[in-house]
Chain A
Amino acid sequence: MEPPPPPARAASSRFGAALRVARKELVSSLRDRQTVIYTFVLPICMYPVLFWVMLQGFLVVQGQKERTETRVGVAAVAQDAIPAGLTNALAPPSHGDTQTNPVQVEVAAAPHDTGGARAWVASQGDEADAERPHAVLFLPGPDADAQLFFDSTESKSVLARERVAGRLPGFATKLRSEAATAASVDPLELDPIELRSNNVAPKSDSGALILSMLLPMLLVIMSVMGAFFPAVDLTAGEKERGTAETTMLLPVPRAAVHEGKVLAVCATAVVATFLNLIALGFSAENLIGLLARSAQFEVKLPVLALFAVAPLALLFSFFVAAVLTSAAGLANSFKEGQAMLGPVQLVFILPAMIGAVPGIDLDLRWALVPIANVVLAFRAMLLGKELYLEYAVTAVALFVYAILATRFAVLLLSRESVALSSSTIPLKRLFSTLRSSGDTQ
């Protein structure tokens, strides 16, 4: 017979019990290979690999770009304002069989003003205007800078702009020298000929725009992915391993057990989300920068936005963890849990696409809509918008949703028919399950 144990301390608080359960579940969860892969390995390795692939793709695209022909229109306020030799400067004759960066120049038959030159640029996807130039060089007269109209959203237009911007300075220097010689002055005494680029596409920061569409969606996806396996492992996986009954015997309130599980899932989701964002930041700085220098868009690492979004990401992960834990709790095996969460994760990921929809911005109404609010808030932060009230409302709303979702998880997982079910409960029986008797405490 074993000796009796020493006297026990007073029972710990419910929160203390939940923390102990969470600690054990975390230890257990982090010993699961899939969880470790999704929480640590994937975030650290994914972006370097992703951007390396992008870099390789960029090099291939670069080769194709050099062979792509572009059309450049030349227009002026008066026909005699177009200097001789400009056409040759923009479209130099080839010195071999293959011409790199070919440009076809079309000089306007009649004088233009600024508006006419701008309107002459082919708009994106406008097949009817297939013959219109991709970019237009407009010469407003001897006292004003030359202007180049292009569409940043159209790849050939961007290419045409690059070629004009690359070739025009040499020609302008030559003109300046000739003019200086004619006037018997030093060329430096003459005003230089400047070229101003005008983007006919809606004014926006392309780099920030791209990030603002990409990162918020990524935040949602990474949070869901980070919570996915732990949620299944700690609920359906537990039933499959035959330890659900053991957990029900823990001498703590059942609510603390389920809250502990949600906390453990939340912790892995948060770790995965932040590791993803940090790894993305480092990779973007080192690899996207290489693309950006040539791609005419500027990618600036949004460090402040990443810090600013941290509290919202934490609350969102809490919400995701509670929802995924509830859903996975209906399944009876790891495999069925994964199948169950498939559609549930789409419920998160599809609304996250709202971040890429033009015309929808964070306001007080959107701040109350779960998922959309965190996406739009992060997007607004990336674009530098100072919507402090909307951010605060988003945080409060996410907190309330997280608490409600956790309450729901506790309510659902405490049902006998869920905790001890011998088969997976389909989602369509969710509400009848909630109405059924047998709430274990």
Chain B
Amino acid sequence: MTTEAAILAEGLEKTFHDPQRGTVEAVKGLDLECRSGEIYGLLGPNGAGKTTTLRMLATILAPTGGRATVAGVDVATDPLGVRRNIGFLSGSTGLYPRLTARETLTYFGELHGLAGDALRTRVDELIEIFSIGSYADGRCEGLSTGQRQRVSIARAVVHDPKVLILDEPTTGLDIMASSDMIDFIDSRRAAGRCVLFSTHVLSEAERLCDRIGVIYSGRMLAVGTLDELRERTGESWLEDVFKALVREAEPSA
């Protein structure tokens, strides 16, 4: 593992205006550092601010305060530069249903600057690596959930990004598809890439993460290796560690 910060957020904030709820502070001054060759798990309950944080880092949302860099590029001043260096995947990054898997990969490869033989070679490689070959020329709308997941992953890494941001990547997947996803995340660490992913499946975090950040109510409660968090809370199971940190932040919780 290297110590280079692939993702750095300092005092990151996001405030929305919701017609029903008024002003909503989704993320309140969040600090985060994720290094190259590291898998960083963002843990938190629903509504904690995980998705908003990841969306800001992926430039889908613009921060309303603080600053963040991804692969050394500032998300506020050069969002396009950030998008060229990341692969992002979430439950809501669907595939274009009327394009085939091959067309999807070609489209994203093209927009990432690949062309001609280089593009065709890269697409063929991804089709082989992710075992997409048997359905590469069928429209995505006809693929099973697991098949779509493979195409989505291939789509996210078509440009071999330095940073992968995954928002609850196993949600809705069956056991086999989840297992494929976990293997894929593990492989990214071996490739020296930075992976930041959110989850509320604690077993995934225990198995994969080099470090874990616990986020609650828009704030980062604690960051560390699993052992460090255990030591801090005096609990041995991650579930208990998590509950202890939440209680510490909000005694009534």
Contacts and interface: CB of A to CB of B under 8 A. Distances in A.
B60 A249 contact: yes
A2 B80 contact: no
Interface in B130-153: 139
Nearest to B88: A249
A2 B113 contact: no
Contacts of A17: 111
Given A1-B191, A248-B60, A20 B111 contact: yes
A441 interface: yes
A24 B114 CA distance: 16
A11 B64 CA distance: 28
A1 B187 contact: yes
Given A5-B158, A251-B80, A440 B61 contact: yes
Contact of B96 (A8, A246, A249): A246
B122 interface: yes
Interface string A1-15: 111111111111000
Contacts of B158: 5
B80 A441 contact: yes
B186 to A, nearest CB: 10
Contacts of B114: 5-6, 8-9
A6, A10, A437: residue with the most chain B Cβ atoms closer than 10 Å: A6
A24 B99 CA distance: 9
B115 interface: yes
B185 to A, nearest CB: 12
Nearest to B167: A245
B201 interface: no
A106 interface: no
Contact of A246 (B16, B93, B125): B93
A331 to B, nearest CB: 16
Contacts of B157: 2
A245 B89 CA distance: 10
B96 A28 contact: yes
A242 interface: yes
A248 B108 CA distance: 12
A27 B103 contact: yes
Contacts of A241: 94, 96-97
A8 B112 contact: yes
Interface in A356-405: none
B159 interface: yes
A441 B61 CA distance: 9
A416 B97 CA distance: 23
Describe A's contact surface by its main secondary structure.
Answer: loop
A249 B158 CA distance: 13
Interface string A239-276: 00111011011111100000000000000000000000
A250 B109 CA distance: 10
Given A416-B62, A440-B62, A242 B125 contact: no
Interface in A223-250: 241-243, 245-246, 248-250
Given A5-B159, A20-B110, A20-B111, A243 B84 contact: no
A140 B107 CA distance: 81
A249 B61 contact: no
A71 to B, nearest CB: 65
B118 interface: yes
B98 A6 contact: no
A31 interface: yes
Nearest to A32: B98
Contacts of B191: 1
Nearest to A440: B62
A8 B60 CA distance: 23
A156 B83 CA distance: 73
Contacts of A3: 125
B61, B96, B125, B187: residue with the most chain A Cβ atoms closer than 10 Å: B96
A32 B122 CA distance: 29
B113 A8 contact: yes
Contacts of B98: 27-28, 31-32
Contact of A242 (B64, B92, B160): B92
Contacts of B115: 9
Contact of A250 (B62, B83, B125, B139): B83
A32 B96 CA distance: 12
B198 to A, nearest CB: 15
Given A10-B113, A249-B88, A438 B62 contact: yes
Contacts of A252: 80, 111
Nearest to B17: A436
A168 B108 CA distance: 78
B126 interface: yes
B95 interface: yes
A13 B190 CA distance: 35
Contact of B93 (A5, A10, A20, A249): A249
A218 B215 CA distance: 59
A249 B99 CA distance: 17
Contact of B159 (A8, A12, A245): A8
Contacts of A245: 60, 90, 92-94
A9 B88 CA distance: 22
A336 interface: no
B61 A416 contact: yes
Contacts of A10: 113
Interface string B167-209: 0000000000000000000010011000000000000000000
A437 B99 contact: no
A162 interface: no
A7 B19 CA distance: 46
B37 interface: no
Interface of A: 1-12, 17, 20-21, 24, 27-28, 31-32, 241-243, 245-246, 248-253, 416-417, 420, 429, 436-441
Top 3 A-B pairs ranked by shortest CB distance?
Answer: A8-B113, A242-B94, A6-B118
Given A7-B118, A246-B95, A251-B84, 15 more contacts: A8-B114, A9-B113, A12-B111, A27-B99, A243-B94, A243-B97, A245-B90, A245-B93, A245-B94, A250-B108, A251-B112, A251-B159, A437-B17, A440-B59, A440-B60
9 contacts: A6-B114, A9-B115, A27-B99, A242-B93, A246-B93, A246-B94, A251-B80, A252-B111, A441-B80
